[in-house]
Structures are given as C-alpha cells and as structure tokens.
Structure 1
Amino acid sequence: MDRTEALEEKIAHLTRAVEDLSDVVAAQGREIDRLTRLAAMLAEREAEREAGLGDAPAANVRPPHW
C-alpha cells in the first residue's frame, strides 16, 4: 500500500467518524430540546399547583373542628 492509499483510507475513516459524531450530536440536541420542554412544562405545572394550594390548609395541620 503506497502512501496515497494509506492517506485516502485514513481520510475515509475520519470522515465516517465525523459523520457518526455529527449524528450523535444531532440526536443529543433533539433530546436536550425535548427535556427542556418537559422541564418547562413540569415547572409550569408545579407553579400552578402551588398557586392553587395557597388557600388550602397544610396537610399536617389539624382542622379547626378538632
């Protein structure tokens, strides 16, 4: 194998590695976007829940009739 063929082979392997890594990064970006939306939704849901419980008695407080 001459030097040119060895370089071409190395370039082919490196190109494949870059493409594979690009696919991984793209998938991770999609997952990060999904998890960011989920975290925002959960934070909003928790804020709504806390806002709705502002007037409700705490779970560990005895009711006034006891």
Structure 2
Amino acid sequence: MDEDKIRISGIMFEHGTNDYGFWEGFSLTDEEENQIMEILMRHDTEGCSIRGTRKQIAEEIGE
C-alpha cells in the first residue's frame, strides 16, 4: 500500500447505547473517497481518533 495514500476501508456506525456496526467490503471511487475526505477534513479538530493495527484499534474501542 502506498504510505502517502489514505484509503477508507470501513465505516463505524452508532445505532444506540452500546450498539455499533462496522461496514466494510465496499469499493469507493476516487471521487467518492475524495468527497468523504473533504467532509472529514472540515471536522479534523473535533472529536478524537486512534491509529494502530486492526487489533490495537479493536482493543482500544472495546474499552
């Protein structure tokens, strides 16, 4: 994977109290991905994020 290219590999949804879903396995066009990234970058100083391996992220959000 190109280290300079960030790809959207899945999206997490909150459905209710302690009820989450993770959607993956879809393909976005470059245009769609750019549109989503533009939206996210407008909010880049809000909330929080984590980075690591898939396992590390699962452990961190699993609290």
Q: TM-score range by the shorter chain?
A: under 0.3
Flag the structure with more relative contact order, 1 or 2, with Cα contacts below 8 A and sequence separation at least 6: 2
Which structure has the larger Rg over C-alpha atoms? 1
